[in-house]
């Protein structure tokens, strides 16, 4: 029995714990891993915000195209008026009804067409997203209302290759990307014909 005691006593002498250097090295590796994880999460959050801004830009550009097509389809305006004019608010646009240059994102005016002189009187457009319940209530709060002051929209309409029955339409939505601190553009190009 003494032999067993001596043997276990001998093996206990050869066991040792971690040194302070090994513990410090392990902590450094763990901190580097946690910082890397935090960086990945920050990049993911920034990408989510950038993707949301791009989705809003696409929506605003598509709205403008749909408004132009609706004006053509409803005979609300003549084909010759589906053009850019030399416009000032409240004045005639020399034939074309669409304001040139970057415009704030306003609600459509009395004519129901986006990008015309009467939009400023309708006031700024606000993007409404469902609140915490996931159901639109129609009011802010509980819904989340996002002002679109960070966006501008430019509608450019030109005859295509001199053809009077075909227009080339370019919608450019510009927004400021908070991560890059530079303006970003979403451009939508299409052709529209006088014929339905």
* Element holding 172 (H helix, E strand): strand 163-177
- Residues 159, 153 contacting (CB under 8 angstroms): no
Query: By C-alpha distance, which of 181, 158, 162 is closest to 170?
Result: 158
pLDDT of residue 137: 61
Token pair belonging to 176: 């400021």
What is the separation, in whole angstroms, between the first and last Cα of the chain? 105
pLDDT of residue 119: 86
pLDDT of residue 18: 74
Task: Count the helix, strand and coil residues of the chain and give each as a percent rounded to the nearest 5.
Answer: 40, 25, 35
Number of helices (H), then strands (E), belonging to the chain: the values are 3, 6
pLDDT of residue 90: 47
CA angle at residue 46 from 35 to 60, to 5 degrees?
175
pLDDT of residue 168: 92
Partners of 187 in beta bridges? 172
3-state secondary structure of 106: strand
- Residues 87, 133 contacting (CB under 8 angstroms): no
Q: What are phi and psi of 30, to 5 degrees?
A: -65, -40
* Rounded alpha-carbon distances, angstroms, from residue 88 to 84, 85, 97, 143: 12, 9, 11, 35
pLDDT of residue 118: 85
From first to last of its 196 residues, what are the pLDDT tens digits of the chain? 555 555 555 555 566 777 888 888 888 999 988 888 888 887 777 666 677 888 889 999 999 999 888 888 887 788 888 888 765 544 455 678 888 889 999 988 888 888 888 888 888 888 877 767 766 666 677 777 888 888 999 999 888 888 888 899 999 999 987 777 788 899 999 999 888 7
């Amino acid at each position: 029995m003494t032999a067993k005691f001596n043997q276990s006593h001998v093996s206990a002498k050869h066991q040792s714990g971690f040194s302070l250097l090994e513990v410090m090295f392990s902590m450094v590796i763990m901190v580097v891993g946690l910082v890397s994880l935090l960086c990945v999460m920050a990049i993911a959050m920034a990408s989510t915000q950038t993707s949301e801004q791009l989705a809003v830009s696409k929506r605003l550009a598509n709205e403008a195209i749909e408004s132009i097509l609706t004006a053509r389809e409803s005979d609300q305006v003549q084909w010759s008026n589906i053009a850019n004019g030399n416009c000032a608010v409240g004045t005639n646009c020399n034939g074309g009804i669409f304001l040139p240059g970057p415009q704030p994102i306003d609600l459509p005016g009395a004519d129901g067409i986006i990008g015309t002189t009467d939009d400023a009187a309708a006031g700024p457009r606000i993007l409404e997203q469902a609140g915490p319940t996931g159901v639109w209530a129609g009011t802010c709060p509980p819904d989340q209302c996002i002002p679109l002051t960070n966006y501008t929209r430019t509608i450019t309409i030109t005859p295509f290759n001199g053809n009077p029955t075909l227009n080339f339409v370019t919608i450019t939505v510009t927004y400021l990307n908070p991560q890059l601190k530079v303006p970003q553009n979403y451009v939508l190009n299409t052709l529209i014909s006088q014929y339905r």
